[in-house]
């Protein structure tokens, strides 16, 4: 993919996800054409921000003519890696894991839940969405049994209590899972190796691991901050210009 790869901010990636959602809605409403101004209004950002975000990934649309909705949608799906299937395991099948497995739209974009894991003997063995919950100590064996199939596991979702999150992340990484989506209110850290006095390096198995966070409490705290400081929310938007 031709892109200006040097410094794409993670906020741009988050907004690309939002633009894609808007384009899908427009398409379902039978709208054929859109513009950076139109997308900006729907996404609650500036038109300049939309153009800047898209420019990281190439040139889309025609100057003064805007974008064709289904073409831009296809491009964004390609950029975001949503044209291939993603095979997912969930660790922690309590209320939160159950809510994730049943989240409306999780099977959109070819995210497929392939394995569900827990350590609680009351939960192990239950059937959830056609899958039998396995014990977490079966994770490594499960992942390796899938490794050469078309259902090789790409991502692990952590829905365990916060005090178990680091340990469960290590379990995923030891099993060879390179992508972690962490729902626990805990900061996941790579295992570090090295000698005293030298800079510590990531342990070998953590080298290519990506961790992203979906954090309820962090959302609550950001909201609390902005309720107390509403003017900062407005300013932020202007600064993006």
- If one asks whether residue 11 binds a copy of itself (CB under 8 A), the answer comes out as yes
Q: Compute the least distance from the CB of residue 192 to a copy of itself, in Å.
A: 8
Nearer to a copy of itself, 10 or 121 (CB): 10
Say how far apart CA 240 and CA 233 lie, in whole Å: 11
Q: Compute the least distance from the CB of residue 126 to a copy of itself, in Å.
A: 14
Q: Which of 55, 187, 194, 201 binds a copy of itself (CB under 8 A)?
A: 187
Nearer to a copy of itself, 141 or 225 (CB): 225
Nearest to 211 by CA among 162, 184, 178: 178
Nearer to a copy of itself, 8 or 71 (CB): 8
Q: Which residues, at least 6 apart from 137, have a Cβ–Cβ distance to it below 8 Å?
A: 119
Say how far apart CA 57 and CA 51 lie, in whole Å: 10
DSSP string, 45-107: S-HHHHHHHHHTT---SBTTTBEEHHHHHHHHHHHTTTTS-EEEEEE--SHHHHHHHT-TTTT
Site for a copy of itself in 31-90 (CB under 8 A): 42-44, 79-82, 86, 88
Site for a copy of itself in 133-162 (CB under 8 A): 154-155, 161-162
Number of residues that bind a copy of itself (CB under 8 A): 78
């Amino acid at each position: 993919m031709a892109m200006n790869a040097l410094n794409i901010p993670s906020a741009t990636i988050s907004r690309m996800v939002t633009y894609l959602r808007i384009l899908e809605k427009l398409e379902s409403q039978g709208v054929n054409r859109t513009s950076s101004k139109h997308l900006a209004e729907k996404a609650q950002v500036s038109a300049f921000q939309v153009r800047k975000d898209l420019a990281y990934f190439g040139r889309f649309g025609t100057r003064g003519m805007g974008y064709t909705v289904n073409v831009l949608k296809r491009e964004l799906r390609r950029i975001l890696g949503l044209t291939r299937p993603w095979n997912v395991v969930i660790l922690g099948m309590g209320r939160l894991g159950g809510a994730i497995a049943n989240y409306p739209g999780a099977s959109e974009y070819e995210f497929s839940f392939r394995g569900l894991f827990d350590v609680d003997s009351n939960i192990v063995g239950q059937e959830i969405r056609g899958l039998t919950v396995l014990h977490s100590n079966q994770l490594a064996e499960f992942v390796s049994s899938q490794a050469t199939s078309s259902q090789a596991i790409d991502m692990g979702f952590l829905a365990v209590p916060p005090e178990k999150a680091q340990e469960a992340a290590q379990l995923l990484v030891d099993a060879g899972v390179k992508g972690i989506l962490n729902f626990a209110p805990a900061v996941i850290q790579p295992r570090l190796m090295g000698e005293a006095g030298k800079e510590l390096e990531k342990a070998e198995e953590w080298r290519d691991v990506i961790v992203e966070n979906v954090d309820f409490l962090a959302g609550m705290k950001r909201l609390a901050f902005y309720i107390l400081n509403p003017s900062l929310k407005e300013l932020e938007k202007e600064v993006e210009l």
